Structure 1
Amino acid sequence: MASPNALTFKVTRKNTELIPPAKPTPHEFKPLSDIDDQEGLRFQLPLIAFFPKNPAMDRKDPVKVFRDALAKALVFYYPFAGRLRETAGRKLVVECTGEGALFIEADADVGLQQFGDTLQPPFPCLEELLYDVPGSGGMVNCPLLLIQVTRLKCGGFIFAFRANHTMSDGFGLFQFASTMAELARGAEIPSVLPVWQRHLVSARDPPHVSYMHDEYENIPDAKETLIPLENMVQRSFFFGPGEISALRRHLSPHLRRCTTFELLAACIWRCRTIAISPDPNEEVRILCFVNGRRLFNPLLPAGYYGNVVATPLAISTAENLCKQPLNFALELVMKAKSKVTEDYIKSVANLMIIRGRPHFAVDMRTYIVSDLTHVASDNLDYGWGAPVFGGPAKGGAGVIPGLLSFHIPIKNIKGERGKLVPICLPANAMEVFVKELETMVKRDDDTDLGDAPKSSIFKGRTRL
């Protein structure tokens, strides 16, 4: 079988339409929170799920099931059927027009098995599986959701959707997708009703910034261009129990109880910095998306689906990060994450008002990472069972390709549960990155972590 990254196939788009809510919904204006509408979240987030054939569903057309489920879900999540408007001070407001979400019906001349034994980003022909309908990709006056259901020759199908990140974070988007799944299986109402209440995560009046937010400060100019945006490639790396255990052996005993997210973020930041080879005296950065839902007191309502994130920053000189042991990077990441509290998130909201909703400061010396392991794709059962993969369609989303990656929960071909991390780098930097990471995660039972490792950590490559 050919490598899935070399797979090419034809997708026939049979119908593109706007799906409005199944019942009348209010026409009103709903402001986003001051966390939602910051510049750094003004991009489209693509997600994808692969479903194998289920003989019990042979008489069901997934296109009709998803179309109907979308229409029903939009009754409860009716802001998603509206359009964003930008008002004074760059404030984003949803006009709940009921126009609907974009829905694409498609067929592909390929079976699920041809994608290979392990489904993970980068996916071949992604632009065909999630078609960018002309005029749909902007921030304002555009559909807020784009969904494509592609039937496969084997009887399985692919569900892909793209959402305006200002409306929801990953948690909120999976809440919406889970609601669609419940309604597709016959529920009349969602088990968790959506809650708007964006004022709970908005600025004070008058606004007041109570923390230093280095993540929004200007970055010193680089002495040279570190990463050309041409020749970018993407690979996904699986970290199972063996790889995590190997990484923890690099740590001092007092740090070994760190979270897996902190450990992987520190390791990848260090390996990535070595790979891009900046000037030793220049600053390099890591920004960690931190989910703040559990930090609020009282807790935010269970159905709140807006963005509740902060992006605390850790900084080091390139030389210190690369030459010091992993402990050094890990302590910086842990210290940055520990800054995030309810008041810290609200301070960010206030900074947005005062500073005109700036983008968190990024350049190619910055690594951005978001943890999605709390989002279980097992909940995405639309009648066919859980998907064999459900998560971000690619790494590198956002303002600059190659900066953002995700931690995605996944089970590998051997049945091990772990985290999948897509990484996007220029081809020459990727080769260095792989060598550095091989050294860090080499397990006792591995003799070689090359193209066919026992641990199966290294998979696939594609040009972006």
Structure 2
Amino acid sequence: MGAEGGASREFMVKLGKREVVAAPLPMQEHWLPLSNLDLLLPPLDVGVFFCYTNPSTTASRRLGHGSMVGVLQASLAQALVSYYALAGEVVQNLAGEPELLSNNRGVDFIEAFADIELSHLDLYNPDDTIEGKLVPTKKRGVLAVQATELKCGGIVVACTFDHRIADAYSANMFMVFWAETARSVAPISLRPSFRRSLLNPRHPLRFDPSLDLMYIPVSALPPPPKQKLRADEECETAASRGDNYCLVSRLYYVTAAKLSELQQSACSNGSKRTKLESFSAFLWKMVAESSSIANNDDNKAMSRMGIVVDGRCRLMSQGVDDKPTPMASYFGNVLSVPFGEKRAREVVQKPLSWVADAVHEIVERAATKEHFLDLIDWVEERRPVPALARIYCKPGGEEEEEEEERSTALVVSSGQRFPVTEMDFGWGKPVLGSYHFPWGGETGYVMPMPSPLSNGDWVVYLHLPAPQVAFIESHAPTVFRPLTPHYLNLL
């Protein structure tokens, strides 16, 4: 990163008190079933973190770390009264499916100290500076929180959520509620709804057969090919010696000017494409080109692109008197992951507008109310057998093994509603907020979020194989710029 990025160095994180924060009111223990859309998620944890500079009050008096922790804990306890699901734990029901036990066991809250200043934190490389240090490892329950004091007096507030209970929309909703509670905002902007009946299946069940191409029951998954098992072992060995073999996480910023330039190029055929579609198309071309070169331009190499689609706005009914509709406040997973597959060489050779059209077609497959109703029914017919989005599951089999080794897959999830500027607990807005999701699979994952500078730039969390990351950085350095303390005005 060099001098511009700050003096990146190894640092230690000392864990302090670990407490359990629960709702302060007595709560009746009860069971909350997961919806059919929740059941499409495997047991994965998702991290999110916010970085704050050394805060001060209006009288310019510095707040101590203990005072900030006290505010966080007290407001978290109050927030859990409404968000009681986050104070529970996931257990198996009699059918062997995960279910939420709302027992107010509480949220693990960890205090920590890191002997590094915020301006020296290597934000570009979260695998070294965020993972396992500033974002907590959730050992039980649904949510874990860590508040880490930095050497400069700043603080990092990080959470780890069980993805089966909350998607990004739900996590964002809770984070804003928590911050508003800390500031005693009245009235609170949005209270959660846990009405699982909003996602009940229809009777009789009905769905489009095309869903079989998007999702797959885990019972239908073939065993991992032998080559894949060998690759996993090699990956662990390579990671232990620092080789660039496995998936790595990076944080970049993309300027508003570059986003507009990509969108203009993606719309060159007269079609109107969003910035997300244009950005996704450009990224798809980069990954496909990296794959094509690695495979000596082999025409058999395939490349898959998935786009996460939020179904809330598709399932919303008309609101009354401008009040939020039930789905607007629904807490849980309301996601679908449609994807497309092309020859890598074709994605490389076609213009950006053609690839953007392909991305748009992917989104359109899931951008309807009927799609989500179909998906709910599709899951219902297969319960209690769990299912997954196919893009996360490379099919095996000896005859497909060689071709699969030449394929690439990535998923883009829009984080444009990420509430970085709303995460003020009473000591100012964060200088950076980001999701952190090194989920451990083979499929790449990318989430663009708004820059905390509110200037139209994006902060992009990218989790891809190291060779693809190296290719993107060398071939598109003016698009993907490493996130540095200098960019965030910390130097």
Q: Same fold (TM over 0.5)?
A: yes
1:381 is aligned to 424
Query: In structure 1, what is the Cα distance between the partners aligned to 2:187 and 2:104?
Result: 19
Give yes or no for contact 2:35–2:196 (8 Å, CA) kept in 1: yes
1:289 is aligned to 308
Query: In structure 1, what is the Cα distance between the partners aligned to 2:94 and 2:7?
Result: 46
2:320 is aligned to none
What letter is aligned with 1:332?
Answer: A
Q: CA RMSD in A?
A: 2.9
Within 5 Å, give how 1:350-369 maps onto structure 2: 350-355=377-382, 356-361=385-390, 362=392, 363=394, 365-369=408-412
Within 5 Å, give how 1:70-81 maps onto structure 2: 70-81=76-87
In structure 2, the CA distance between the partners of 1:407 and 1:247, relative to structure 1 (3 Å rule), is: same
Within 5 Å, give how 1:133-144 maps onto structure 2: 136=139, 142-144=140-142
How far apart are residue 196 of structure 1 and its match?
0.5
- Structure number with the higher helix fraction is 2
How far apart are residue 170 of structure 1 and its match?
0.7
Within 5 Å, give how 1:245-260 maps onto structure 2: 245-251=260-266, 253-255=268-270, 257-260=272-275
Give yes or no for contact 2:307–2:413 (8 Å, CA) kept in 1: yes
Per-residue CA deviation, residues 73-113 of structure 1 (Å, 9 max, x unaligned), is: 11111121111122255433211111111110112222222
In structure 2, the CA distance between the partners of 1:172 and 1:322, relative to structure 1 (3 Å rule), is: same
Query: In structure 2, what is the Cα distance between the partners aligned to 1:264 and 1:15?
Result: 43
What letter is aligned with 2:62?
Answer: D
Give yes or no for contact 1:236–1:420 (8 Å, CA) kept in 2: yes
In structure 2, the CA distance between the partners of 1:173 and 1:459, relative to structure 1 (3 Å rule), is: closer
Provide the secondary structure at the position in 1 that maps to 2:328: coil
Tell me which moved more, 9-18 or 162-171: 9-18
Give yes or no for contact 1:239–1:420 (8 Å, CA) kept in 2: yes
1:302 is aligned to 328
What letter is aligned with 1:251?
Answer: A
1:65 is aligned to 71
Tell me which moved more, 155-164 or 281-290: 281-290
Query: In structure 2, what is the Cα distance between the partners aligned to 1:219 and 1:333?
Result: 26
Give yes or no for contact 1:192–1:303 (8 Å, CA) kept in 2: yes
Q: 2:136 aligns with which of 111, 114, 131?
A: 131
Within 5 Å, give how 1:148-227 maps onto structure 2: 148-187=146-185, 190-213=188-211, 214-217=213-216
Task: For structure 2, list consecutive stretches of 5 or more residues without a partner in the other structure.
Answer: 239-243, 318-324, 395-406, 485-491
Per-residue CA deviation, residues 246-284 of structure 1 (Å, 9 max, x unaligned), is: 323533534553101111111111211221335422432
Query: In structure 2, what is the Cα distance between the partners aligned to 1:283 and 1:178?
Result: 41
What letter is aligned with 1:313?
Answer: F
How far apart are residue 43 of structure 1 and its match?
0.6
Give TM-score scaled by structure 2 length.
0.80
Query: In structure 1, what is the Cα distance between the partners aligned to 2:375 and 2:480?
Result: 40
Tell me which moved more, 206-215 or 365-374: 206-215
Give TM-score scaled by structure 1 length.
0.84
Per-residue CA deviation, residues 334-373 of structure 1 (Å, 9 max, x unaligned), is: 0111122112012112222223231112246211110011
How far apart are residue 402 of structure 1 and its match?
5.5
Provide the secondary structure at the position in 2 that maps to 1:93: strand
Query: In structure 2, what is the Cα distance between the partners aligned to 1:123 and 1:190?
Result: 37
Work out the percentage of aligned pairs sharing the same amino acid: 22
Query: In structure 2, what is the Cα distance between the partners aligned to 1:239 and 1:319?
Result: 26
1:433 is aligned to 472
What letter is aligned with 1:339?
Answer: R
Q: 2:461 aligns with which of 422, 425, 438?
A: 422
Give yes or no for contact 1:369–1:406 (8 Å, CA) kept in 2: yes
Per-residue CA deviation, residues 390-426 of structure 1 (Å, 9 max, x unaligned), is: 12035xx3351561111111146xx742122232334
